[in-house]
A and B are shown apart, each in its own frame.
Chain A
Amino acid sequence: MPPIFSSRSNTFVRVSIVVGLIAITAIVGYLVWWTHSSTFNQVGVKVPQPVPFPHNFHVAVLGLNCRYCHTGVDKAAFADLPPTETCMSCHSQIATNDPALAPVRDSWKTGKPIAWNKVYQVPDYVYFNHQAHVGKGVACETCHGRVDQMTTAVKANAMYMSFCVDCHRDPAQYVRPRANVYDMGYKPDGDQHKIGEKLVKDYAILPPTQLMNCSICHR
């Protein structure tokens, strides 16, 4: 009776085993990469806005403080977006008929709010409080990146839970003096961790045992 498989089939089987293993690792690897890619988590991807607001110009050149527009950031959970009134306080004099600003003027005339597109989407079961963070020396830059270098704001990181948890496990890595919270491109003078440790003490930042409680962010 002739052999059912030629002797080459042995090699074939051996090879296919190796190939199979490689394939599996490749697929897993790809999935990990994909979930961290900007196409998946939209990091650094431009979000179309009704008005192409140039953060870089207003922050870097004009030197406006974040709070000028995001008034709630140090008072409430919600950082808030500027009411049309705020825009008009300048743009009733400056660039009064810049076509790009048409939506602002319309909104002012009609009283219809400008519909901005959200850049950061925190799920409804996460309760992030800007006031609490800003007050404890967590800078805008730490989460939102170099806004002073963006035109319309783009996502600076994926905001995965691990990102939050990283800081909640050891705030000292990130906190900076309250004075510098709104600074962009801040460099600690000295060892961040030493400074951090001190600030954590000074600002009475809760210990990780408490910062890591679920109910701190989830209710």
Chain B
Amino acid sequence: MTTNSDEQRQPLDLAAARQQLREKKGKDYWRSLNELANSPEFEKVIEQEYPRQASLLGTLNRRDFLKVLGASLALAGLTACVPQGSDKILPYVKPPEVLLPGKPVLFASTVLQDGYGQGVLITTTMGRPIKVDGNPKHPATLGGSDVFMQALPLELYDPERLKQVMNQKTAKTWGDFTNALGSLSGNWGQGAGLRILSGMTTSPSLIDQMGALLKKYPQAKWVQFSPVARNNSLAGANLVFGQPYEPVYDFSKADVILSLDCDFLFAEPGHVRYGRDFGVRRQPISANGTMNRLYMIEGSSTMTGSNADHRLAVKPSQIEGFARAIAARLGLAVTAPTGDVAGQPWLDALTADLKSAGKGALVLAGERQPAAVHALAYAINQALGAVGNTVNFIAPVAQGYAGDGYTALKTLAQEMSSGAVDTLVILDSNPAYTAPADLDFVKAMGKVKNVITLANAMDETAVLSSWAIPAAHSMESWGDARAFDGTISIIQPTIEPLYGGKSALELIAALLGQPVARGYDLLRTYWQGQLKGGDFALTWRDLLGKGVIADTASAPIASLPTATLNGMGALPAAASGMEIVFEPDYTVWDGRFTNNAWLQELPKPLSKLTWDNAAYLSPATATKLAITDGDMLILHVGERNMQAAASIQPGQPDDVVVLSLGYGRKEGGSVLANSGFNANLIRTSAAPWFQSGLQVTKGREKYTLATTHEHWTMENRDLVRSTDLEDYKAHPNFAHDGEEQAITLYGQEERTGYAWGMSINLNSCIGCNACVIACQSENNIPTVGKDQVIRGREMHWIRIDRYYKGSANRPRFVYQPVPCMHCEKAPCEVVCPVEATSHSAEGINEMTYNRCVGTRYCANNCPYKVRRFNFYKYVDENVASMRALRNPDVTARSRGVMEKCTYCVQRVNEARIQAEAEGRPIADGEVQTACQVACPTQAIVFGNINDANSTVRKLKDLPLNYGLLADLGTQPRTTYVAQVKNPNPMIKEEA
């Protein structure tokens, strides 16, 4: 609890607070609540009025304030989305033709990740968008998704979004703003003092508008900056091809992959698609051709690295040397380091492997590596003939962007502090937080007279801006975007802006003097101009239906020049001492998702850390520095330093401290409050990704980190069964070695009709967590806050277990998603005294919340520990927007009730009812669980195991299929496809 010093201020009572709030109009409602909630005297009031909440203040996080407030005051603003109170029904006056009350409606749309478009299908019920999944027609997703996509609904309904136009912390209207803008733009003249700073922008219509703006104000400048933009990739292309071309990879054709610090399963644009193609080629009994092989040499332990056949963790600065050595062995004209490089034992075998793969080889470099390494990668690909096969080069998707984000931002900062800038417009960017420390951007902002920010919340930038305009969420606004391969898709709204937010299109239009232009018209007129011929009305309709504009993928650069490595420069001196390494965070990216509780509570793929980032060190490094988990460290880089809590992680490179971006934020919500450590404090525009000369000193105090997975090894229990391809060919049955057939005293029921079952393919699972959030979103799973996670009370229905094999220094990683196993002989069922958990005729282990009295006997007796208990009232029933977020087909669980994975029984029932109405059986693949739909690699398959032709049945008939802890005789309905790795026999991994 925050205890501010200003105790003198006399406490206001809740009655007064209510009064004060009633006077305000609906829209500005929540902001005022936040202000109140943050004031100490208000906390006192809460303690008086709500003893339960008060005593929890210590244990649950600030979200609960908003709960309480919602309870005490009826909400304005959102009444459109929520029932008026349980005893009334409000039918339509005129019914909309698409909508049949109670039936969900799907919209094809697009969401942005750092500017790149990802095609999605948005599920809405009763006019409320509640679920986001990939659009199978869209090349970037093919129906798969990632955690950020899945977590968007919570972002949309976040009660802490900016609710109205703010001018110097006072509430204004859009009208006020446009008036002010009118007088402001009057003295822009040629626009010498006008600057626009945006995140990565691929939207054709927006770029077109920017063009118009820059035409109107020729001396104005537009800067694109994003901390995780594709800078080095483009710069590398510039080095070898003389043009900043953008690489696009095709993993479906890649047989041998060498990743130079490239986390392509997470950090690259198009990672969802890459995951799918990569996964398809990971199958020992592969659909097309042979199983691929992944070599990974990396500067931190990444999700991609954890899926590699050969993995080597080194200081990031050592990777260039390695890349040069490979290039040299392939006969490219580079100065290779004399003597051994990191990964020396690989070199011969690896080069041989790449050579033999030829055009089937793929070498990629990660954004963290300097342009030189990218250049080498491109050159090697070209030399191997892979270009045009596994990798293609296209014009930058962010049209006109040359990969100079950091330098551009630096110049902008200089201009600003020199006073040359009088108006700065900021779109989809939070530079006050994300800008590297050396730019001192906050100070520079102080020098700018007018800062206009289009903001989602009152974040670090918005609070410093003269005008903060509420941004319309991508689910509320019209727009368009290009995908990683250039494909264009449309963004269409699924709900009216909840708080009257504006889109970037609308704001720029206002700058162009059209204050009332609607995003829809702007977009439609633009495309009317683009798509000539035919009846536009029809094209437009069809286009909205598909969500994708057919064959707009950028054509590969024809006649690509032969790579020249002259510009590479000399081999950099091998850096000694420790290095600080940065990475985009696996749950909050660069900080834009830090106020999203779903993502905050999502365990990171490898560290299983929640609600914080931490300074990762390898066990060896930790021992060397005498550091233990949770020690506060002081990290000195150059003249800057910061504090961060230590977390020891096997698999991290030695002499390296890895820190992820996006934490330690100060403004913009209650969920992000005091979580993690701000890496930008020691990050510089010169070396944004890694830097040597790190000094680590151990602080005095300790810090508690909340992890969901405290144990590392499998204790020699055959939980995850895996072997190498060679061995698998010799013993295809290895997954069942030493398995005992459990006998049962109960009879074996005959299961006719549908028998629902699930198969999880451990060869495909990359540990990306998309399933976890998808499940949370589908099944109304609450978040519980850091303290409760520490007490082991997280609520996820599906979790991804992560184990380390081998030594702590060179571990191999395995992932195992664990939902409810829906055991045929479920131990939980017989012990429940009230039959709140029971077995359905179709083999689903049902959980009936309203019958549950909460003995927790079932959870004790569940060997898989998949049952989750509501120790407190976690569900948020008070905040209207949180109610609007809820899936109406799933009951919200209250305090004292057990819950767990239901195989999305609501979807099964819906399908059964439909099928019966149409008098047909449920088709294979008609029922898909939320986790299955979300999985980018299709690792999860659900279906009827009584149907001999169903996909799930075929998987279960494989020799690789095995049941987790099947020896116990639980007869799980969820089974696993054992993992087969494909290491190079020529390389002996020392354990």
Contacts and interface: CB of A to CB of B under 8 A. Distances in A.
A131 B913 contact: yes
B891 interface: yes
B700 interface: no
A84 B917 CA distance: 29
B909 A118 contact: no
Contact of B88 (A117, A127, A132): A117
Interface in B168-219: none
A213 B101 CA distance: 26
Given A76-B101, A118-B87, A213 B93 contact: no
A26 B883 CA distance: 45
Given A115-B88, A215-B909, A216-B909, A83 B838 contact: no
A219 B88 CA distance: 23
Contact of B93 (A85, A124, A215, A219): A85
Interface string A53-89: 0000000000000000000100111101111110000
Interface string B876-908: 000000000000011110000000001001100
A125 interface: yes
A129 B90 CA distance: 19
A204 interface: yes
A121 interface: yes
B87 A77 contact: no
Interface string B835-871: 0001011101010111100000000000000000000
B87 A117 contact: yes
Q: Which of A111, A123, A209, A218: most chain B Cβ within 10 A?
A: A218
Contact of B103 (A76, A84, A85): A76
A72 B89 CA distance: 14
Nearest to A209: B841
B101 A80 contact: yes
Given A80-B101, A131-B917, A214 B840 contact: yes
B88 A214 contact: no
B841 A83 contact: no
A135 interface: yes
A116 B91 CA distance: 8
A41 to B, nearest CB: 15
Interface residues of B, number: 38
A129 B888 CA distance: 13
A115 B891 contact: no
Interface in A3-34: none
A83 B94 contact: yes
Contact of B902 (A116, A204, A219): A219
A216 B913 CA distance: 10
- Interface majority SS on A: helix, strand, loop or mixed? loop
Contacts of A82: 91
A121 B83 CA distance: 14
A85 B913 contact: no
B916 A132 contact: yes
B642 interface: no
B830 interface: no
Given A214-B846, A218-B891, A72 B95 contact: no
A101 interface: no
B100 interface: yes
B102 interface: yes
Contacts of B92: 83-85, 113
A72 B94 contact: no
A127 B570 CA distance: 70
A114 B838 contact: no
A149 interface: no
B566 interface: no
B840 A76 contact: no
B892 A124 contact: yes
Given A125-B850, A215-B846, A219-B902, A132 B93 contact: no
A210 interface: yes
Contact of A210 (B841, B891, B913): B841
Interface string A129-147: 1011001100000000000
Q: Top 8 A-B pairs ranked by shortest CB distance?
A: A78-B102, A210-B841, A213-B840, A81-B91, A113-B90, A215-B846, A214-B848, A76-B102
Interface of B: 84, 86-95, 100-103, 753, 838, 840-842, 844, 846, 848-851, 889-892, 902, 905-906, 909, 913, 916-917, 919
7 contacts: A82-B91, A85-B92, A114-B91, A118-B86, A118-B89, A125-B891, A219-B891
